[in-house]
Amino acid sequence: QQQVKQSPQSLIVQKGGISIINCAYENTAFDYFPWYQQFPGKGPALLIAIRPDVSEKKEGRFTISFNKSAKQFSLHIMDSQPGDSATYFCAAARGNTGNQFYFGTGTSLTVIP
Amino acid sequence: ETGVTQSPTHLIKTRGQQVTLRCSSQSGHNTVSWYQQALGQGPQFIFQYYREEENGRGNFPPRFSGLQFPNYSSELNVNALELDDSALYLCASSYRTGLAYEQYFGPGTRLTVT
């Protein structure tokens, strides 16, 4: 059973555009929601993370929007650049159970120059 | 600050063999988690070690085992390899204090089982 569902599977965006990736979860015990960026042949790199006590977090061009009632969260990449082309994973974790991360299936983002 | 390192980078094994993968935690981190990432999928949690003890395990059989050493480095051992074990194995380290969450991943070990 997939604990975290991610969409779309792939995304093509023009340079300068906004990339939006969505995730949904079922387990209300999750209390930490990170986003990771992965380039081919590399391990995932932590981009930005949010906890359910806030509805939005922004770091540079990256913003997480969090909707606790809908059990959904999304990553927005503003002014998308070709260097942002990578696979993005959302994840969810429960703080009191050893910090096991449940990952989404990933979104392959291509930013066209 | 030294990041998470893993060895070897690539490995080819035959079905039925055993393999040991190694991970060095980021400096100052005391917790190590291991993940399996099949091609085109998200990482799947195998287990986590904190202060040399297993601290949580995912849905993986007992032939997946691990160790954490006093310097917080870690090993993942897989016995009786199966073709489906072919994947990228990722190690992530973090510093557990209260509700510590941030996990930092190494580059992974690509295991191919033939």
Closest alpha carbon to A113 in A10, A15, A9: A15
Compute, in degrees rounded to 10, the torsion defined by CA atoms B93, A50, B43, A26. 130
Q: What is the mean pLDDT of residues A40-56?
A: 92
Q: Is A46's CB within 8 Å of B102's CB?
A: yes
Q: Is A32's CB within 8 Å of B101's CB?
A: yes
Backbone angles phi, psi at B50, to 5 degrees: -135, 125
**β-pairing, B10-13 with B109-113?**
parallel
pLDDT on residue B2: 65
Out of B42, B50, B96, the one facing A103 most closely (by C-beta) is B42
Highest mean pLDDT among A5-19, A86-100, B51-65: A5-19
Average pLDDT over all residues of chain B: 92
CA–CA gap between residue A47 and residue B85 (Å, rounded): 28
Q: Give yes or no for B73 touching A (CB within 8 A).
A: no
pLDDT on residue B71: 87
Question: Which residues are A19's β-sheet partners?
Answer: A77
Out of A4, A42, A101, the one facing B107 most closely (by C-beta) is A42
| C-alpha dist (Å) from residue A38 to A11, A26, A32, B47, B66 | 15, 25, 19, 21, 25
Q: What is the mean pLDDT of residues B11-28?
A: 95
pLDDT tens string B35-56 = 999 998 999 999 999 889 998 8
Please check the confidence at residue B28 and state whether its pLDDT lies above 90. no
Chain B neighbors of A48, CB-CB under 8 A? none
pLDDT tens string B61-105 = 999 999 999 988 999 999 999 999 999 999 999 877 655 578 899
Q: What is the mean pLDDT of residues B27-32?
A: 86
Chain B neighbors of A39, CB-CB under 8 A? none
Q: Give yes or no for B5 touching A (CB within 8 A).
A: no
pLDDT on residue A73: 97
pLDDT on residue A94: 84
Report the share of chain A in percent with pLDDT over 70. Answer: 95
Backbone angles phi, psi at B103, to 5 degrees: -110, 135
In chain B, which residue's Cα lies nearest the Cα of A9?
Answer: B40
pLDDT on residue B99: 58
Residue of B9, B44, B45, B91 for testing the chain A interface, max A β-carbons within 10 Å: B45
pLDDT on residue B102: 84
In angstroms, the separation between the Cα of residue B101 and the nearest Cα of chain A is 6
Average pLDDT over all residues of chain A: 93
Q: Is A46's CB within 8 Å of B104's CB?
A: yes
